[in-house]
Amino acid sequence: MARLKLGMVGGGQGAFIGAVHRIAARIDNEWELVAGALSSDPERARASGADLGLDPARVYGSYQDMARAEAARPDGIDAVAIVTPNHMHAGPAVAFLRAGINVICDKPLAATADQAAEIESAVRETGKHFILTHNYTGYPLIRQARQMVAEGALGTLRLVHVEYVQDWLTEETHNKQADWRTDPARSGAGGCVGDIGTHAYNLASFVTGLHATSLSADLDAFVPGRQVDDNVHVMLRYPGGAKGMLWASQVAVGNENALRLRVHGTRGGLEWAQENPNVMTFTRFGEPKQILTRGGAGAIGAGIEGTRVPPGHPEGYLEGFATIYRDAASIIRGTATPPAPGIGEGIEGMRFIAACIASSRSDAAWTAL
């Protein structure tokens, strides 16, 4: 099949996540980047487009101009990737959806509940596809874990423990990545809870199929003067009596990108860690622990489908994003319905953030999602 045509909002010179999206979109040869509004600074947008070899006629000074022009072209883009800070998700997402263009958006969904509702309305009214890039759901062993849980390998679920801890904001930090994440006007009211807490919550839900009904959260800003949280402890209650714990931190010295998941049921348990994503342990009650490797012995359907290279050759972060882009291509083409996160997961993530903040402000009172 011909490659789908991709546009991008944000991700220009000096941006980190834009380059990640561009690499991921190319890995499976499903997408070709052909247009962009790569910066709110028109001169930087033009320079960024030149760096990427884009046709100057398809390098735009604003996302509004891009949405109008691409919608009018017979060879217009099939989807736009929005890779801006949180407060700049809603405007572009709504503009492209209403122009009839599918959207692939970085997480969390938005900075505020009102912005999230605006995106949700546009998705429902236009019927266009909306994919949220919770990239960790694209890891092969995470897809395998989801299948194992669904098939009953763990029995009835009892315990879910997920943590996502870093240390890069342990001190007052100023750079392009830190500045918007610690500014509530751009990140939203949630800092760490929105940035990586939503990843942890989404991963637990993706694998287990469980969605919390209520939570008790304790949020802290340990760095003096910081306006948003940098550490989060959450207890979770799930339907059917299962219980969960979530810890997210950006001030846990000694941790780089330590996303870990443990799930335990009546028949077995599994453990996975993002920093060594090609290995997962699975234990049946009363039996020795098994070490499962990505694509190796013991691999099953969902895990095999997400694997691109032979066992023993590490895959990880970029390939996880690539799986989301491959999912998006299948959804847009109508050839398959893979479990890529969408608007529903985005809204649930926003409700998770809001409930955590409300609970913490009420001395960790139990709060409904």
Helix (H) or strand (E) holding 333: helix 317-333
Closest-CA residue to 144 (of 341, 301, 315, 336): 301
What was the pLDDT predicted at 1? 80
Rounded CA-CA distance 356/227 in Å is: 16
Lookup result for tokens 């009835």: 156
Closest-CA residue to 105 (of 118, 92, 121): 92
Q: What pLDDT tens digit does each residue of the chain (369 aa) get?
A: 899 999 999 999 989 999 999 999 999 999 999 999 999 999 999 999 999 999 999 999 999 999 999 999 999 999 999 999 999 999 999 999 999 999 999 999 999 999 999 999 999 999 999 999 999 999 999 999 999 999 999 999 999 999 999 999 999 999 999 999 999 999 999 999 999 999 999 999 999 999 999 999 999 999 999 999 999 999 999 999 999 999 999 999 999 999 999 999 999 999 999 999 999 999 999 999 999 999 999 999 999 988 999 999 999 999 999 999 999 999 999 999 999 999 999 999 999 999 999 999 999 999 999
Topology of the domain covering 139-310+343-361: Dihydrodipicolinate Reductase; domain 2 (3.30.360)
Lookup result for tokens 């949020």: 219
How many Cβ atoms from other residues are within 10 Å of residue 344's Cβ?
13
Residue ranges of domains in the chain: 4-128, 139-310+343-361
How many Cβ atoms from other residues are within 10 Å of residue 235's Cβ?
17
Residue type, 334: G
Give the tokens for residue 214.
């209520």
Rounded CA-CA distance 188/23 in Å is: 28
Specify whether the CB–CB gap between 19 and 40 falls below 8 A: no
The torsion of the CA quartet 136, 139, 145, 146, rounded to 10 degrees, works out to 60
Crossing angle of the two packed helices 140-150 and 198-208, in degrees rounded to 10: 50
Rounded CA-CA distance 20/83 in Å is: 10
Q: Do domains 4-128 and 139-310+343-361 have the same CATH topology?
A: no
What was the pLDDT predicted at 306? 85
Give the tokens for residue 241.
């009596």
Q: Partners of 218 in the beta sheet? A: 233
In words, the CATH class of domain 4-128 is alpha beta
Crossing angle of the two packed helices 113-126 and 343-361, in degrees rounded to 10: 160
Lookup result for tokens 């700049």: 88
Give CA 62 to chain center in angstroms: 25
Task: Tell me the whole-structure pTM to 2 decimals.
Answer: 0.96
